[in-house]
Amino acid sequence: MLEYANHIIRTIEQSGGEAYIVGGAVRDMLLNRSPGDYDLATSLLPQDVMKLFPVVIPTGLDHGTVTVVIDHLPFEVTTFRSESTYSDRRRPDEVTLGVSLEEDLTRRDFTINAMALKPTGLVDLFGGQHDLAAKIVRTVGRAEERFDEDALRMIRAFRFMSQLEFSLDRQTEQAILVKKQHLSSVAMERIAVEFEKILLGPGRTTALQAMIRTGIPEYLPHLDPSILERLIEMPLNGVSTDDVWTLVVVAGMRPEALRAWKRSKKQQTRAKTLAPLVKEETLSDWQRYCLSDEELLRLNEMTGRHHQDRSTLPIRQLKDLTVNGRDMMTLGLQKQAIKEALAHLEQQVVVHRLANQRETLLREVMMWKKQHGTGS
Q: What is the smallest separation between the CB atom of 196 and Mg ion, expressed in angstroms?
A: 15
Among 152, 208, 251, 323, binds ligand ATP (CB under 6 A): 152
For 150, the 3-state DSSP assignment is coil
Q: What is the smallest separation between the CB atom of 78 and Mg ion, expressed in angstroms?
A: 12
Going from the C-alpha of 217 to that of each of 52, 153, 213, 220, 255, the distances in angstroms are 48, 16, 10, 5, 17
What are the helix (H) ranges across the chain?
2-14, 24-30, 46-52, 101-106, 128-134, 143-149, 152-164, 170-179, 188-200, 204-213, 225-233, 243-250, 257-260, 265-274, 285-289, 293-303, 325-330, 335-350, 358-372
- Residue 153 interacts with ligand ATP (CB under 6 A): yes or no: yes
Give the Cα separation of 322 and 364 in Å (integer): 13
Partner whose footprint covers residue 42, from Mg ion, ligand ATP, none (CB < 5 to 8 Å by kind): none
Q: How is 21-44 classified by DSSP, letter by letter?
A: EETHHHHHHHTT---S--EEEESS
Partner whose footprint covers residue 153, from ligand ATP, Mg ion, none (CB < 5 to 8 Å by kind): ligand ATP
Q: Which stretch binds ligand ATP (CB under 6 A): 59-67, 72-80, 107-115, 264-272?
A: 107-115
Among 104, 150, 243, 327, binds ligand ATP (CB under 6 A): 150
Structural contact between residues 327 and 345, judged by C-beta atoms closer than 8 angstroms = no
Residues 15-34 that bind ligand ATP (CB under 6 A): 23-24
At position 253, the amino acid (one-letter code) is M
Q: What is the smallest separation between the CB atom of 23 and ligand ATP, expressed in angstroms?
A: 3
Q: Which stretch binds ligand ATP (CB under 6 A): 105-113, 254-262, 266-274, 331-339?
A: 105-113
Among 65, 78, 111, 113, binds ligand ATP (CB under 6 A): 113
Residue of minimal CB distance from ligand ATP?
24
Q: CB within 8 A of 233, min separation 6: which ones? A: none
Q: Which stretch binds ligand ATP (CB under 6 A): 9-17, 89-97, 147-155, 217-225?
A: 147-155
- Residue 243 interacts with ligand ATP (CB under 6 A): yes or no: no
Partner whose footprint covers residue 169, from Mg ion, ligand ATP, none (CB < 5 to 8 Å by kind): none
Structural contact between residues 283 and 277, judged by C-beta atoms closer than 8 angstroms = yes
* Residues at the site binding Mg ion, with contacts judged by CB under 5 A: 24
Structural contact between residues 102 and 86, judged by C-beta atoms closer than 8 angstroms = no
- Residue 36 interacts with ligand ATP (CB under 6 A): yes or no: yes
Q: Which stretch binds ligand ATP (CB under 6 A): 54-62, 148-156, 215-223, 250-258?
A: 148-156
Q: What is the smallest separation between the CB atom of 95 and ligand ATP, expressed in angstroms?
A: 12
Going from the C-alpha of 26 to that of each of 5, 76, 79, 108, 159, the distances in angstroms are 12, 14, 17, 13, 17
Structural contact between residues 221 and 183, judged by C-beta atoms closer than 8 angstroms = no
Partner whose footprint covers residue 108, from ligand ATP, Mg ion, none (CB < 5 to 8 Å by kind): ligand ATP
Give the Cα separation of 56 and 71 in Å (integer): 12
Partner whose footprint covers residue 255, from ligand ATP, Mg ion, none (CB < 5 to 8 Å by kind): none
Q: How many residues bind ligand ATP (CB under 6 A)?
A: 10
**Residues binding ligand ATP (CB under 6 A):** 23-24, 36, 108-109, 113-114, 150, 152-153
